[in-house]
Amino acid sequence: DAKTTQPPSMDCAEGRAANLPCNHSTISGNEYVYWYRQIHSQGPQYIIHGLKNNETNEMASLIITEDRKSSTLILPHATLRDTAVYYCIVRSYSSASKIIFGSGTRLSIRP
Amino acid sequence: GAVVSQHPSWVICKSGTSVKIECRSLDFQATTMFWYRQFPKQSLMLMATSNEGSKATYEQGVEKDKFLINHASLTLSTLTVTSAHPEDSSFYICSARVPQETQYFGPGTRLLVL
Closest CA to A101 of A37, A9, A7: A37
- Give residue-wise pLDDT tens across range B84-103: 999 999 999 999 987 678 89
DSSP state of B27: S
User: A34 to chain B: which residues are within 8 Å by CB?
Assistant: 102
pLDDT given for residue B53 in this prediction: 83
Residue A95 pLDDT greater than 80, yes or no: no
From the list B32, B43, B104, which residue is nearest A104 (CB)?
B43
From the list A36, A46, A95, which residue is nearest B99 (CB)?
A95
Measured in degrees and rounded to the nearest 5, phi and psi for residue A81 equal -70, -10
From the list A42, A99, A100, which residue is nearest B107 (CB)?
A42
pLDDT given for residue A2 in this prediction: 63
Closest CA to B62 of B48, B83, B42: B48
Q: In angstroms, rounded to a whole number, what is the distance separating the alpha carbons of residues B81 and B68?
A: 7
Q: In angstroms, rounded to a whole number, what is the distance separating the alpha carbons of residues A103 and A9?
A: 10
CB contact under 8 A, A101 and B34: no
Residue A11 pLDDT greater than 70, yes or no: yes
Residue B74 CB burial class (10 angstroms; 0-12, 13-18, ≥19): middle
Mean of the per-residue pLDDT values for chain A?
94
User: B34 to chain A: which residues are within 8 Å by CB?
Assistant: 98-99
If phi > 0 it is left, if psi is from -120 to 50 it is alpha, else beta; for residue A45 that is: beta
Q: Of A55-64, A88-97, B1-10, where does mean pLDDT reach its minimum? A: A88-97
Maximum alpha-carbon separation in chain A: 43
pLDDT given for residue A93 in this prediction: 80
Length of chain A: 111
Divide the 114 residues of chain B into consecutive groups of 10 and give the mean pLDDT of each group.
92 97 93 95 94 90 95 92 97 89 94 98
Residue A66 CB burial class (10 angstroms; 0-12, 13-18, ≥19): exposed
Residue A15 pLDDT greater than 70, yes or no: yes
pLDDT given for residue A1 in this prediction: 60
Distance from CA of A42 to the nearest CA of B (A): 5
Q: In angstroms, rounded to a whole number, what is the distance separating the alpha carbons of residues A17 and A37?
A: 16
